[in-house]
Amino acid sequence: MKGAGGQRAPGLFGLRAVSGWGLWRLRWGLIAYVLVIDLAALAGAVWALVEVPVEAGNLFPFIVLVICSVLYTEMSRPIEKLRERYSVTPHIDLQSVWMFAAVVTIHPALAAGVITASYFYRWLRVQRNPLYRRTFSTAATIVCGYLAVGFLSLVTGLPLAETTRDVPGFLALVGAGLLFLIVNTVTLTVAVYFGSPHVSLRTALGSFSDYSLEAATIGLGILLGWALDEWPVALLLIVGITLVLHRSVLVRQLREQARSDRKTGLLNAEAWADAARAELARGEQLKHSSGLLVLDLDFFKKVNDTHGHLAGDDVLRATAATLQAEVRAGDLVGRFGGEEFVVLLPNIGQAEAVAIAERIRRRVGATAVPLTQGGDGPADITVTVSIGVASHPKDASSLEALMQAADTALYQAKAAGRNRTLLYVAPDEGGLRAVG
């Protein structure tokens, strides 16, 4: 699970460090959820060591997988540092190839060791995010590994080395991989969604392409498990394939980053404007009207002055999440700088655009953003938003003129007392019209 970076403090692994974990500032239900997963991973490893004998043949693949994980982390370190730097949401872990190979190949406790080594070596060498998050990610993956092993044992009654190389054996391994992926996704999504109030469920889940990529790495893990048993030299090919996948992910992420606002994950001003112009041109061809919302958070400077810029960033992310939750999938949402946001609503009437604006305004005002970065004042931050609404092509034919119309309505909304929506009406039609 992704988190903010941090420097190593004295006594990092001592009781004082544990007592200072951000974990204890979460809701009690979420604390209990994290601790249950952590304890389940530890209890499963202890049980496996006591009840299941460790065969001597497990030591070679265990050592090989740990070495592969360490060497791969070093080889991919420049790529991964860039991924961490430019990612605004939790990203998919390409180390699943080593971890899932361990899950289906070696003793459960040794597999837990491979997973732990993979996560914590990367924590040491790439990004030191909050330790409790890294611990939880490790534990969640270990628990999912236990479930995959249990599924494989239930279906075939055999370890990977003895699984038949036929269609039923292949389907059993694919089923174990899918179970591993699905349960791990659900487990981490719950923690991200409830642990970060500004994150929407859509953001916490990630994208289909992300999970397709992780499914591919799990598939490579199956091949690696077979290779360790029958043809170890093949792991060199798998390392190369995984590095190529890793680089392709970075290229895609950098392309997305060039279009995204780093703080909120929304389209940046330039990317939004390009997409909006194309959408308005398409609307003209199809004779569709569009709505434009320009939004500005009220008294946002006061939030920064009172609580600090980190708390202000939390408010911006919470607002972005609200916008994404309240609009349709095809609507264009962007951050236009500072505390100003823009939303283009294609193929929509004026009344519907106003209704969406009002819904957003009420939702923003009702959202309490937890104060997690310290500072003075109440534990939660609430803000209001003023919104200007304009319609294309009724109010303007170009994007620039449409922005000017909506911005004029926004300015008047702020002058009239803020926390309201104003609909632009041309001067010859009687001027601006208050909505909320």
**Mean pLDDT along residues 333-344:** 92
**Which CATH number is 357's domain given?**
3.30.70.270
Q: Total domain count for the chain?
A: 2
- Give the integer Cα–Cα distance in Å for 272 and 281: 14
The more confidently predicted of residues 17 and 43 is 43
- Which of 210, 238, 259 is where one domain is finished? 259
Residue 414: pLDDT band with limits 50, 70, 90: very high
Least confident of 184-193, 211-220, 425-434: 425-434
Written in H, E and C, the secondary structure of 244-290 is: HHHHHHHHHHHHHHHHECCCCCCECHHHHHHHHHHHHHHHHHHCCCE
**Mean pLDDT along residues 398-424:** 94
Measured in residues, the chain has a length of 436
With pLDDT > 90 as the criterion, what percentage of the chain qualifies? 37
For position 1, what pLDDT does the model report?
Answer: 35
CB-CB contact of 417 with 424 (8 Å): no
The more confidently predicted of residues 212 and 62 is 62
User: Is the per-residue pLDDT at 199 higher than 60?
Assistant: no
For position 200, what pLDDT does the model report?
Answer: 58
- 3-state SS, residue 345: strand
290 in a domain, yes or no? Answer: yes
Do 74 and 142 sit in the same domain of this protein?
yes
User: Is the per-residue pLDDT at 2 higher than 50?
Assistant: no
2 in a domain, yes or no? Answer: no
User: Is the per-residue pLDDT at 298 higher than 70?
Assistant: yes
355 in a domain, yes or no? Answer: yes
Please tell me what DSSP assigns to residue 152.
H
**Mean pLDDT along residues 234-239:** 70
Do 224 and 250 sit in the same domain of this protein?
yes
The one-letter amino acid code at 166 reads D
For position 4, what pLDDT does the model report?
Answer: 36
- Which of 259, 293, 314 is where one domain is finished? 259
| Residue matched to tokens 């003075």 | 376
Do 240 and 278 sit in the same domain of this protein?
no
Mean pLDDT computed over every residue of the chain:
81
* Residue of 146, 141, 171, 142 lying closest to 156 (CA atoms): 171
User: Is the per-residue pLDDT at 226 higher than 70?
Assistant: yes
How big is the CA angle at 245 (ends 244 and 247), to the nearest 5 degrees?
65
* Residue of 235, 344, 213 lying closest to 288 (CA atoms): 344
**Mean pLDDT along residues 197-217:** 66
113 in a domain, yes or no? Answer: yes
Backbone angles phi, psi at 197, to 5 degrees: -60, -25
- Give the integer Cα–Cα distance in Å for 194 and 427: 47
201 in a domain, yes or no? Answer: yes
Do 246 and 302 sit in the same domain of this protein?
no
**Mean pLDDT along residues 334-342:** 91
User: Is the per-residue pLDDT at 193 higher than 80?
Assistant: no
8 in a domain, yes or no? Answer: no
The more confidently predicted of residues 149 and 212 is 149
Do 168 and 278 sit in the same domain of this protein?
no
Task: Identify the sign of the CA torsion 224, 227, 228, 232.
Answer: negative
The one-letter amino acid code at 65 reads L
For position 310, what pLDDT does the model report?
Answer: 86
Residue 205: pLDDT band with limits 50, 70, 90: low
402-419 burial code (b ≥16 CB/10 A, e <16): bbbbbbbbbbbbeeeeeb
For position 41, what pLDDT does the model report?
Answer: 95
User: Is the per-residue pLDDT at 131 higher than 60?
Assistant: yes
Task: Identify the sign of the CA torsion 235, 241, 247, 252.
Answer: negative
Looking only at the bridges linking them, the beta strands covering 290-297 and 385-392 are: antiparallel
Its domain, for residue 369, covers 269-434
- 3-state SS, residue 7: coil
**Mean pLDDT along residues 96-122:** 90
Do 248 and 362 sit in the same domain of this protein?
no
7 in a domain, yes or no? Answer: no
Least confident of 86-90, 131-135, 152-156: 86-90
Do 196 and 305 sit in the same domain of this protein?
no
CB-CB contact of 165 with 222 (8 Å): no
Do 222 and 289 sit in the same domain of this protein?
no
Do 390 and 299 sit in the same domain of this protein?
yes
9 in a domain, yes or no? Answer: no
- Which of 240, 259, 278 is where one domain is finished? 259
Do 217 and 290 sit in the same domain of this protein?
no
Do 254 and 274 sit in the same domain of this protein?
no
Do 407 and 276 sit in the same domain of this protein?
yes
* Residue of 111, 182, 110, 94 lying closest to 145 (CA atoms): 111
